[in-house]
């Protein structure tokens, strides 16, 4: 829970974002998510050139899944650090992050793959119907896309917003072309763990707002 002082700082930050951005192309559910990403990164490009892309069912699908306690599968521990833990407690969401598992390391070496690829493949049962949040590893995103194409998973949402230079932008382009699976992604190299966790936090905030209305 926020302290009164902490909430006042957050409110002032959000108002500053509103004032600086002005008009934008996002709807009433998309904008709180974009604004939260901007708040977490101080990067106004997310509202413009590096705009965030929403598959049409992405927000409703993820809201339904998260409020019903679905698993949240992440590529790195940094995403976990940015999540609001009260949401996880209140809605009973399990966090899955296999990246540091010794078994994953050994299997990645054996198969000549990245740990991120293997960790996603190992989480198939959680990913099917869950929310996947990838903020760092393009290879994790590509593996999830491949599993969707194989027909072995159908996530409630794929948040594909990895940061970097090698395959980051390309992996997002592939996600944006994926049919019939809800996703949120962005154009270009920018992204990161804080962006991925900000999107989840913003979706939970939409859930709470809907419940209280």
Give the residue numbers annotated as catalytic, written as ranges.
39
C-alpha torsion angle, residues 27, 28, 34, 39 (rounded to 10): 150
Determine the Cα–Cα distance for residues 176 and 166; give it in Å rounded to an integer.
18
Tally the C-alpha atoms within 13 A of residue 151's C-alpha that lie toward its C-beta. Answer: 0
**Helix 4-21 with 30-41: angle, nearest 10 deg:** 110
Chain-centroid distance, C-alpha 61: 13
**Which element (helix H / strand E) includes 172?**
helix 168-176
Q: Is the dihedral of CA 95, 99, 105, 110 positive or negative?
A: positive
- Residue 133 near residue 72 (C-beta atoms within 8 A): yes
């Amino acid at each position: 829970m926020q302290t009164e002082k902490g909430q006042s700082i957050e409110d002032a930050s959000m108002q500053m974002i509103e004032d600086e951005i002005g008009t934008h192309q996002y709807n009433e559910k998309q904008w709180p998510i974009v604004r939260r990403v901007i708040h977490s990164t101080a990067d106004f490009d997310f509202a413009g050139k590096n705009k965030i892309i929403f598959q049409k069912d992405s927000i409703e699908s993820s809201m339904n899944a998260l409020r019903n306690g679905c698993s949240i599968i992440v590529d790195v521990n940094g995403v976990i650090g940015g999540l609001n833990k009260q949401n996880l407690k209140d809605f009973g969401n399990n966090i899955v992050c296999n990246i540091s598992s010794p078994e994953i390391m050994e299997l990645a070496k054996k198969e000549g793959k990245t740990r991120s690829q293997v960790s996603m493949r190992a989480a198939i049962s959680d990913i099917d119907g869950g929310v996947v949040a990838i903020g760092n590893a393009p290879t994790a995103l590509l593996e999830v896309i491949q599993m969707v194409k194989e027909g072995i998973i159908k996530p409630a949402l794929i948040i594909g917003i990895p940061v970097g230079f090698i395959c980051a932008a390309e992996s997002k382009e592939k996600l944006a072309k994926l049919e019939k699976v809800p996703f949120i992604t962005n154009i270009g190299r920018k992204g990161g763990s804080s962006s991925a966790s900000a999107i989840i936090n913003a979706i939970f905030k939409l859930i709470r707002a809907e419940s209280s209305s």
